[in-house]
Structure 1
Amino acid sequence: MSTVLHLDASARPGRSDQRPHGSHTRRLSARFVDRWRALRPQDEVIYRDLGAEPPPPVTGDWIHAAFTPAERRQPWMHQALALSDQLVDELLRADLIVVGLPMYNFGPPAGFKAYIDNIVRVGRTFGFDRQRTGDPYWPLLAGAGKRLVLLGSRGDHGYGPGQRLASMNHVEPSVRTAFAYIGITEVHGTAVEYDEFGDHRLQQSLLAAEARVDALAGQLAGATAAAVNPPAAETVV
C-alpha cells in the first residue's frame, strides 16, 4: 500500500467543472486522485486544503525553535512547531505528493509558500553541519522514492520551458528547487493556460490538461504497482 498526499493551494473554492468561477487546479488534482483511487483503491490518501486553511508564515520564534535541538526545546518551542511537525509527518508518510498549484502574480500562492517554509526543516527534511566537508547542507529525503505531481493553472499562456513567458514563471521552478533541496527530485505535472481569456483556447487547454492528468495517473500508478509487486524471477531449469 502507498500513501498519497493531496494538497490544494487555490484560494478559489470548488472545482471549475462543478461551479462557476471554481478552481482549475482543484479540478485537476481531484481528477488525478480519483483516477488513482480507481486504479489503487487500497492506497491511503491524506488531504490538506492549503487554500482554505493556509499555514501561518514562519516567524522569529519559529526559527528559534526549529534551530534549537529537540532535547533542549522549551514548551513554547514545541507549540511553535506543532503544525510544522504535523505537516512534515504527513510528507514523510507520503509516497506521492499531488499539488493543485495555481500561479498568482508569477509565483505560487502565499499559503503554499508558507507550506514550503514549514516543511523545509533542519534535522527533519534537510541536514546541516558547519563542520561538514564540502556542502554543509544535505537532503534527508533523498533516495526515499517520493514523487511530486504539480497541477497548475495560469491566466495567460506561454509559461512553459522555452516559451514566450518562461522567464516570468516562478511557480514550478521555485517549487522544484525547494523539494529538490530536501531530496524529492522526481517531478511530473501539467498546467491549464488561457484562464483570463475564457474562450475556446481555455477549453482546449483544460481538455489537454485532463488528458495529461489521466495519463500521468495511469503511468505513476503502474510504476508504483511494479515497484511494490515486481515480477517473479524466472527459473531456468
Structure 2
Amino acid sequence: MATLLQINSSLSGDDGHSSALSNKFVQRWREHNPGGKVIVRDLARHPIPHLDAERLHAFITPAEKRTATQQDIVSYSDQLIDELKRADVIVFGVPMYNFGVPSTLKAYFDHIARSGETFRYTSNGPEGLLEDKPVYIFAARGGIYQGTDADSQTGYLNTFLGFIGLTKTHFVYAEGLAMGEDNQKKALSSAEQEITELAAA
C-alpha cells in the first residue's frame, strides 16, 4: 500500500493557495491510488515548536544520558522522521512569506535534520540517509520570482532536501497571485493542469 506524506505550511490553512494546490494533488493521487494512505501535517493548525537551546541539546545528548524531558523531545522528532521514512511520496504546500519559507516549515526542517538519523558527515562531506523518493512542492507566490535572485525558496528547499537524501524534487509554481484577478486565474489554472498531469504519471 502506497503512502503519501502531505505537509502544508500556509498560515491560512486550507484557504491558502499553496494548501489548495497540494490538496488538489493529493485528491488526484487518491484517485489513482485508491488503497493508498495519506498522512497530513498542517503546520498552521499543529505548529512544530521552533528550535531552541533545550531542543538542540536534547538532539545532541547521547541516548543514555538524556533526561525524561529530553527523551520526549527526541521522541517527537523521531515521529516526524518515521513519517518521512514510511512515505513513498512527499508533498509540500509552500507559500512565500517575505521572500522565504514560513518559519513553521523551517521549524519542521530543524526537527528532521538529525545527525545519524537523516544525514551523516563522511570524509567526502555530508551524506543523506533517507531513501530517495518523489517530492512535490507547490509554491504559491504573490509576485513573480521563479528564476530570479529573489527566489530564495527553490535553492534552499533543494539544498535542504538533498542534504537528507531527497533529490527527486518537482516544483509546481503559482506566481503573480497578488497581481490582479486575471493573473491569479491564469497561474492557478496552469498549476492545476500540471497537477492533473503529474498525478496521472
| 1:133 matched to 2:118 | no
Q: Which amino acid aligns with 1:12?
A: S
- Structure 1 residues 208-227: Cα deviation after superposition (integer angstroms, max 9, x where no partner): 000011111112xxxxxxxx
Runs of 4+, deviation exceeding 6 Å: none
**Aligned to 1:160, which of 115, 133, 146?**
146
- Tell me the SS of whatever aligns to 1:167: coil
Deviation at 1:39, TM superposition (A): 0.4
Tell me which residue corresponds to 1:192. 174
What are the ranges of 5 or more consecutive residues in structure 2 without an aligned counterpart? none
- RMSD between superposed Cα atoms in Å: 1.4
The alignment-based identity, stated in percent, is 37
Greater RCO (Cα-Cα under 8 Å, separation 6 or more) = 2
- Structure 1 residues 180-229: Cα deviation after superposition (integer angstroms, max 9, x where no partner): 0010000012111122123211101110000011111112xxxxxxxxxx
Structure-to-structure mapping, 1:182-221, within 5 angstroms: 182-219=164-201
Instruction: Report if the CA contact (8 A) 2:132-2:167 is conserved.
Output: no
Tell me which residue corresponds to 1:146. 133
Deviation at 1:79, TM superposition (A): 1.6
Deviation at 1:127, TM superposition (A): 1.6
Greater Rg by CA: 1
Q: Which amino acid aligns with 2:146?
A: G
TM value normalised by structure 2: 0.94
- Tell me the SS of whatever aligns to 2:80: helix
Rounded Cα–Cα distance in structure 1 between residues aligned with 2:13 and 2:128: 34
| 1:122 matched to 2:115 | yes
Tell me which residue corresponds to 1:234. none
What are the ranges of 5 or more consecutive residues in structure 1 without an aligned counterpart? 15-21, 220-237
| 1:173 matched to 2:160 | no
TM value normalised by structure 1: 0.81
Deviation at 1:72, TM superposition (A): 3.1
In the alignment of these two chains, the number of paired residues is 201
- Structure 1 residues 28-77: Cα deviation after superposition (integer angstroms, max 9, x where no partner): 11110010000011111101101222201111121111112223322221
